[in-house]
Amino acid sequence: MEPLERAKQEFIKSYDEHVDALFRHCFFKVSDKEKAEDLVQETFVRTWKYISSGKEVRNIKTFLYRVASNLIIDYYRQGKNVSLDQLSEKGFDFSEAKDEILENAEFSRVKDLINELSEKDKEIIIWRFLDGLSPSEIADVLNIKENAASVRLNRAMKKLKEKMDTLE
Amino acid sequence: MEDKFQKIFSEFNNIHLSEDEKNLLKNRIISEINLISLRGGLDKQLFAQKWFWYLSQPRLAVSFAALLIFVLSGGGVMAAASRAVPGDLLYPVKTEFNERLAGSFDFSTAAKATREVKLVGKRLQETQSVIAAGRLSPEAIEIVESRLEKHVENIKNYVGVLKNMGENEKVAILQDQLEISLSANERILSSLEVVVGEVASVAPRAKENLASITMERSIAPEVDIEGAPNDLSETAKIKLARAEKAVDDAEILIKRQKIVNDNFGKRLSQIRGELEEGRVLFEIKSNREAIEVFDSVFRSASEIKMLLEASHKLPIRIEFSDTGSEDISVSEEGPNTGILISPVVTGSVRGEFKNLRSISTTSSLRSNFSENILKQDRGDF
């Protein structure tokens, strides 16, 4: 098998391994299933472009998260996020778009609390608990030292806990 | 505390795509990455097999439809598509099928990169055609911009590969080609904005896009002559041959254009003078300086070729100033008549306005104009 073909097979394998977590990550961030799917697709396509241009990827998992995070930032920068109210005003019919995920009360409650955190704290909480990245993997995505990632994670957890305690 | 969070978040593991959705998404991704390989020619082995897969991909249906049209129309539609400009019905056939098919025969990375650079020039020439025909619209500009973006992205990828392969000389040649193409086209586009008043509001967007492309030039590193392999004398010899050929080609084109006002000729004489200076430097072994001169001569002569092409293809007239300097002026010409129809008040790139004497050039939209002429003169036909 040619090196490129082998790389492609490996890459497709990485899709099977990471697609669920990446979709969860994107969905959590954009609250739109279709958009989340598009973001996942674009994440894999861009990563493949990078690989096929001869560049090295040390850790495919953290690389995918880094690409996805950049795409999400671009998505919000481009102002393509339209609020549900705005969509309703435009006559969008939610009855057909309703999804069991959106109806999950626990999801909404925790998501609201996380959304109250700063962008940095929110990000690190999502990576650790939603995506299941280890502190060293988070450090890799953020391009910082593992110790620094652990400190940031602890601070964010403390803040989230305080918010949860006030509700209980 | 961490356990508690993990427990809460474990609820969210239920968020996932169904197996069908995952497979569908996987197919979409595979089709995209295969397309990248096809475009990049990185995966030649799978090329033949891919046709079967190709037919099953809805996103590629347009290309397949193009193939079907080609077969059914005996190639007529594809030929017509080759002359399409942004906004035309057949333009997607030209960019998505004609050009991709032609590109699949470029096998080396350098050849693919060169092709992409040529396509950048082609896109900019199409913009000129659209502006000159008074058909420039925001949609047409959007189409051109999006295509340019893709070409630039491809060039960046190829340059990355070439750099990894240590092919610095090829990277430098690519940069030269891109620079010449961008510089000549930018000058024409800037001038067209003056000539075609009604598109003044849209033309700046094309220029803006050009500016971003120009910035992308930094992706190709300057080749340090000191660090170039082989001895400088050998490099200078190659650059001299390249410059001589470019000057000879430009001369043939000027003669064949039968231009009454020979400011193109004056400009070329000046370039020939520079070439002579370069030869002297080469003879006295000032190789580094000679290489710089030969590169500059090559760029200038190539630019003349591009300007002549534009002048021939569009209902415009491009002229160098009387002094033979590199300043150009662009004026309007009646469509397909070869006769100037409006007062010849023109604007040069540098904001000067001059009166130009009347000249006659045809403005038919023949493709591969210069290549055909050069082939005829060299007896290639």
By the CB < 8 Å criterion, does B17 face chain A? yes
B155 to chain A: nearest residue by CA? A53
Half-sphere exposure of B186 (CA within 13 A, CB side): 15
Option in B5, B6, B22 nearest A19 (CB)? B22
Q: Kindly state the helix (H) or strand (E) to which residue B320 belongs, with its residue range.
A: strand B316-320
Provide CB contacts within 8 A for B191, sequence distance 6+.
B318, B328, B329, B330, B346, B347, B348, B349
Residue B343 predicted with pLDDT over 70: no
B229-248 core/surface letters (b: 16 or more CB in 10 A; e: else): eeebeebbbebbebbbebbe
Structure confidence at residue B74 (pLDDT): 52
B345-348 sheet: strands from edge to edge: B316-320, B328-332, B345-348, B353-355
- For residue B37, give the chain A residue with the closest CA: A52
The Cα A16–Cα B154 span in angstroms is: 27
Each residue of B227-261: pLDDT tens digit?
444 578 888 888 898 889 888 888 887 777 655 45
- Please tell me the distance in Å from A160's CA to the nearest CA on chain B: 9
DSSP B12: G
Q: Which residues of chain A have pLDDT under 70?
A: 1-2, 78-108, 167-168
Residue among B13, B29, B42 minimizing CB distance to A45: B29
Chain B residue closest in CA terms to A51 = B157
Residue B77: the pLDDT is 64
Of B4, B28, B33, the CB nearest to A8: B33
B62 touches chain A (CB under 8 A): no
A104-134 residue pLDDT tens: 556 667 777 888 888 888 888 888 888 888 8
**Partner residue opposite A41 with nearest CB, options B4, B6, B25:** B25
The full 3-state SS of chain A, as one line of letters, equals: CCHHHHHHHHHHHHHHHHHHHHHHHHHHHHCCHHHHHHHHHHHHHHHHHHHHCCCCCCCHHHHHHHHHHHHHHHHHHCCCCCCHHHHHHCCCCHHHHCCHHHHCHHHHHHHHHHHCCCHHHHHHHHHHHHCCCCHHHHHHHHCCCHHHHHHHHHHHHHHHHHHHHHHC
pLDDT at B41 over 80: no
Counting one residue from chain A and one from chain B, the pairs whose CB atoms sit within 8 A come to 97
Residue A40: per-residue pLDDT: 92
Q: What is the DSSP string of B322-347?
A: TT--S-EEEEE--TTT-S--S--EEE
3-state helix, strand, coil in chain B (%, to 5): 70, 5, 25
Is the pTM value of this prediction over 0.95? no
CA B51 vs. chain centroid, Å, equals: 29
B12 touches chain A (CB under 8 A): yes
Q: Which residue has the tokens 């070329």?
A: B268
pLDDT in tens, B69-113: 555 555 566 667 777 888 777 788 777 777 776 665 566 777 788
Instruction: Look at residue A91 in the predicted model and tell me its pLDDT.
Output: 40
Give pLDDT, residue B275: 93
Looking at A48-57, B33-42, B87-96, B120-129, which range is the least confident one? B33-42
Q: Is B8 on the interface with A (CB under 8 A)?
A: yes
CB contact under 8 A, A45 and B30: no
pLDDT at B141 over 50: yes
Contact B17 A37 (CB under 8 A): yes
Distance to chain B for A88, nearest Cα, Å: 25
Say what the pLDDT of residue B254 is.
78
Whether chain A has a CB inside 8 Å of the CB on B44: the answer is no
Assign B365 to helix, strand or coil. Answer: coil
Contact B25 A157 (CB under 8 A): no
Q: Which residues contact residue A153 at a Cβ distance below 8 angstroms, ignoring those fewer than 6 apart?
A: A124, A125, A128, A135, A138
pLDDT > 90: what percent of chain B?
4
The pLDDT of B14-35, averaged and rounded, is 81
Q: Under a CB-based contact definition with an 8 Å cutoff, are residues A156 and A117 in contact? A: yes
CB contact under 8 A, A52 and B33: yes
- Residue B163 reports pLDDT greater than 90: no
| Cβ atoms of residues B82 and B94 within 8 Å | yes
Q: What is the average per-residue pLDDT within B297-311?
A: 80
Task: Give pLDDT, residue A32.
Answer: 81
